Amino acid sequence: MGPFDFLKRRKGETGEFIASRKPVAKFRVEQVLNVLGRETLIGTVEGIIYPGYKVKGKNIALIREIQRERKRVDFAVDGDRVALILEGKTNAKKGDVLEIYQS
């Protein structure tokens, strides 16, 4: 074990890396849509999330955009009901609680 092993990132099932060890937020899925070929999750945030963070369900996906009331926002905080437009697929279902990680 080398002196810089603590810098190594954990690898997800899809080959994408998760940078943080602990989730920074959670997302409770209320609805799953497919909009223009992208998986879109609608639900409630527990914590704070930004575009560029990663969602971990059965697979890992990058948050490309966050929308609140059909308008693009820079971040979402605790209690917000938002839509997450993802790059990739999490294969989430209604009622799932997904973990959000910094990337």
pLDDT per residue rounded down to tens, the chain (103 residues): 566 555 555 544 445 566 567 899 999 999 999 998 999 999 999 999 999 999 998 999 999 999 999 999 999 999 999 999 999 999 999 999 999 999 7
Structure token pair of residue 2: 């080398």
Residue 98: CA atoms inside 13 Å, Cβ hemisphere, count? 31
3-state secondary structure of 5: helix
To 10 degrees, the CA torsion angle through 96, 92, 78, 83?
Answer: -140
Decide if domain 30-101 falls under CATH 2.40.30.10.
Answer: yes
Q: Is 24 exposed, middle or buried (0-12, 13-18, 19+ CB in 10 A)?
A: middle
Name the residue ranges covered by the structural domains of the chain. 30-101
Beta bridge partners of 39: 34
